[in-house]
Amino acid sequence: MTETTERSAPRPEFTDAEAGAKEFPDSTARSYNYFTPAKRRQSHYEDVTVEVQPDPRHYLSQGWIYGFSDGRGGYPLDWTALKAWGSDRPEPERYPGSGGKGYDWPAHGWHEFRDPNEEWELTFYRYNSNVVRQINQNVETARQTKAFSQWSPNWVTFVERNVGAWMHVDHGFGLYVFANANRRAPTNMHNNAISVNSMHRIRFAQDLALYNLTLSEEIEGFDGSAHVETWNSDDAWQGVREVAEQITCIDDWCEAVFAVNVVFEPLVGELLRSNLVQQAAPRNGDYVTPTVVGAGEWDYAERDLRYTKAMFELLTNDKEFAEHNKSILDGWLSKWTERSIAAARRLQPIWSQPDAKAPRFEDGLDRAKSRFAEILSDLSLKSPKELSQ
């Protein structure tokens, strides 16, 4: 019989320094979350959007992984004159175990923004496919019922020149304002909202282009290229063209978004779409164009303006830079309101072109100004003196 030797081994001693020993407020949570949701529970939009873009002020411990020729990396905050709380803090010295040198996270307030539309890839494709499907059905029904034959001759000319000309505005803003601002904005939440805005613009320009081709086929004598001459040479449109081209040259990404969505759109875009085209079309036998133009109006009024207000409300109520931001925004308001009002007034002659007139230009402009003032009130901004022009 062999005797069994009893071996001794060190007994484990727990010191509460082991991984998982320390208890946190969410230690017993069954789901992982690294951000503060806007509501009690995080939404699917937040799960696929918030903090997807790395930022050394948050979690990118080894600094930006790409940069520019001047040595700056990532998304410099000085790409806009506006500031969110913590913007003036230096980037933390980050390395494994540094803990961000004691900064509270998030280190700057840009990351507080949440898009109220909750746009991400799935919602974008779903929304735009529904819009395009509805427009196509409306136009095809009009073709089958010969609805275009009911248009008055002057209205045909009005549509080929003035409705078609607006595609140049949307195409330019989509490609050279919002696509550019999307790259320069500092968080994924901004990137998603602004890129969707860009696609709305490009899609609506395409809607108008395809509609123009349909009318060229369906209406005898319809000049499908008249919008080009209108955009390039028609004096009534040169104010709009000038302001649109000036906006595409803005370097500050926040100013570009603000100039279009807060100033230009209510004073010029909605003035043309809602207070002229939508009003005059039915009086001239056209019940189709309002459905096409109305899709672009919904893009702006119910989606793009909504995220824009949420974005700038954070900046005008910022815990650290509210007054700084309001001062900058007041300057932008003064500049772009004056230019937009001048462009709107230069459009006045086209109100007299249809046989059956829309409501007076001055009445439409007053409604546009009132709408503009409401938007500014929501943003805690005062109406500029240029609005009285």
Residue range 344-370: mean pLDDT, rounded: 96
CA distances to 80, 155, 194, 281, 339 from 360, rounded to whole Å, are 39, 17, 34, 15, 21
With pLDDT > 70 as the criterion, what percentage of the chain qualifies?
A: 87
**Per-residue model confidence (pLDDT) at position 94:** 59
Phi, psi angles (nearest 5°) of residue 220: -65, 130
**Per-residue model confidence (pLDDT) at position 72:** 82
CA distances to 80, 94, 181 from 55, rounded to whole Å, are 17, 11, 18
Q: Compute and round to an integer the Cα radius of gyration of the chain.
A: 27
Residue 253, pLDDT above cutoff 80? yes
The distance of Cα 67 from the centroid of its chain, to the nearest Å, equals 26
**Size (the chain), residues:** 389
Q: Which pair of tokens denotes residue 232?
A: 């390039």
DSSP classification of residue 41? S
Where does the pLDDT of residue 73 fall: very low under 50, low under 70, confident under 90, or very high at 90 and above? confident
**Per-residue model confidence (pLDDT) at position 26:** 61
Task: Name which residue leads in pLDDT, 96 or 201.
Answer: 201
Contact 195, 182 (CB under 8 A): yes
Q: Single out the residue of 307, 200, 195 nearest to residue 262, CA to CA.
A: 307
Provide the whole-model pTM.
Answer: 0.89
Where does the pLDDT of residue 170 fall: very low under 50, low under 70, confident under 90, or very high at 90 and above? very high
Q: Which residue carries 């609005």 as its tokens?
A: 387
Phi, psi angles (nearest 5°) of residue 206: -65, -40
CA distances to 188, 195, 307 from 126, rounded to whole Å, are 20, 15, 18
**Per-residue model confidence (pLDDT) at position 69:** 85
**Per-residue model confidence (pLDDT) at position 389:** 74
Where does the pLDDT of residue 74 fall: very low under 50, low under 70, confident under 90, or very high at 90 and above? confident
The letter for the amino acid at 179 is A
Residue 210, pLDDT above cutoff 60? yes
Q: Single out the residue of 350, 175, 159 nearest to residue 245, CA to CA.
A: 175
Q: Single out the residue of 81, 293, 312 nearest to residue 194, CA to CA.
A: 312
Contact 63, 56 (CB under 8 A): yes
Q: Which pair of tokens denotes residue 180?
A: 């550019």
Task: Name which residue leads in pLDDT, 8 or 147.
Answer: 147
**Per-residue model confidence (pLDDT) at position 89:** 76
Residue range 153-158: mean pLDDT, rounded: 96
Where does the pLDDT of residue 334 fall: very low under 50, low under 70, confident under 90, or very high at 90 and above? very high
Residues ≥6 apart with Cβ < 8 Å to 131: 203, 295, 298, 299
Q: Which pair of tokens denotes residue 122?
A: 């799935």
Give the side-chain half-sphere CA count within 13 A for 372.
Answer: 32
Task: Name which residue leads in pLDDT, 63 or 110.
Answer: 110
Residue 164, pLDDT above cutoff 70? yes
Residue range 325-334: mean pLDDT, rounded: 98
**Per-residue model confidence (pLDDT) at position 336:** 98
**Per-residue model confidence (pLDDT) at position 9:** 73
With pLDDT > 90 as the criterion, what percentage of the chain qualifies?
A: 72
How far apart are the C-alpha atoms of 303 and 265, rounded to whole Å?
A: 13
Where does the pLDDT of residue 233 fall: very low under 50, low under 70, confident under 90, or very high at 90 and above? very high
**Per-residue model confidence (pLDDT) at position 66:** 77
Residue 52, pLDDT above cutoff 70? yes
DSSP classification of residue 341? H
Give the side-chain half-sphere CA count within 13 A for 203.
Answer: 23
How far apart are the C-alpha atoms of 200 and 208, rounded to whole Å?
A: 12
Task: Name which residue leads in pLDDT, 260 or 38.
Answer: 260
Task: Name which residue leads in pLDDT, 118 or 86.
Answer: 118
- Which ranges in the chain belong to alpha helices (H)? 44-49, 121-144, 153-158, 164-173, 179-184, 188-218, 226-233, 235-248, 253-258, 270-272, 278-280, 289-298, 305-316, 322-346, 361-378
Where does the pLDDT of residue 347 fall: very low under 50, low under 70, confident under 90, or very high at 90 and above? very high
3-state SS of the chain: helix, strand, coil percent to 5?
A: 60, 0, 40
**Per-residue model confidence (pLDDT) at position 37:** 83
Largest CA distance in the chain: 118
Helix (H, G, I), strand (E, B) or coil at 73: strand
**Per-residue model confidence (pLDDT) at position 38:** 82
pLDDT tens digits, residue range 285-316?
Answer: 999 999 999 999 999 999 999 999 999 999 99
Residue 327, pLDDT above cutoff 70? yes
The letter for the amino acid at 48 is V
**Per-residue model confidence (pLDDT) at position 97:** 58
Contact 314, 186 (CB under 8 A): no
Q: Which pair of tokens denotes residue 275?
A: 């207070």
Average pLDDT, whole number, for the chain? 90
pLDDT tens digits, residue range 90-131?
Answer: 766 656 655 555 455 555 789 889 999 999 999 999 999 999
